[in-house]
């Protein structure tokens, strides 16, 4: 099933994003800071791993787009732009990042964003 994990959006933005997800028949849920140490697979219900890894909280807005086929992904991103719902950090589900915690995903995306801003390539 397609699902979007939502991090640190304002209540108004969160409501707009969840409304968009409902219109597109995409599941969505806000991830609480207390859940940041679980793997993304666990948050999506794909794993029963109860291990919690430590990490630092973050306040940046972030989306994790899980299980969206190409056409649906493009439609969702297009609708985000049309509705002016900007979220600076976005990641698409891969086999590799399912093992990441929210902390680890945030660090990866932040490092990529910084490398792009510097005009260099990220080698994570």
Distance in angstroms (rounded) separating the CA atoms of residues 98 and 47? 10
Tell me how crowded residue 40 is: count the other CB atoms within 10 A of its CB: 23
Averaged over 54-61, what is the pLDDT?
Answer: 91
Residue 50 has what pLDDT? 86
Global pTM value: 0.91
Per-residue model confidence as pLDDT tens digits over 63-95: 999 999 989 999 999 999 999 999 999 999 999
Residue 120 has what pLDDT? 72
Percent of the chain topping pLDDT 70: 97
**Residue 39 pLDDT > 70:** yes
In the block, tokens 């849920």 appear at 29
Question: Longest C-alpha distance within the chain, in Å?
Answer: 40
């Amino acid at each position: 099933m397609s699902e979007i994990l939502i991090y640190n959006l304002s209540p108004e933005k969160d409501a707009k994003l969840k409304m968009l997800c409902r219109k597109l028949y995409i599941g969505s849920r806000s991830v609480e800071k207390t859940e940041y140490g679980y793997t993304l697979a666990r948050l999506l219900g794909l794993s029963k791993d109860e291990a919690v890894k430590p990490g630092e909280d973050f306040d940046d807005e972030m989306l994790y787009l899980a299980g969206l086929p190409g056409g649906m992904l493009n439609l969702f991103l297009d609708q985000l732009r049309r509705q002016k719902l900007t979220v600076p950090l976005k990641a698409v589900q891969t086999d590799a990042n399912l093992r990441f915690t929210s902390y680890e995903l945030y660090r990866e995306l932040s490092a990529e964003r910084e490398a792009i801003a510097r005009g260099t390539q990220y080698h994570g």
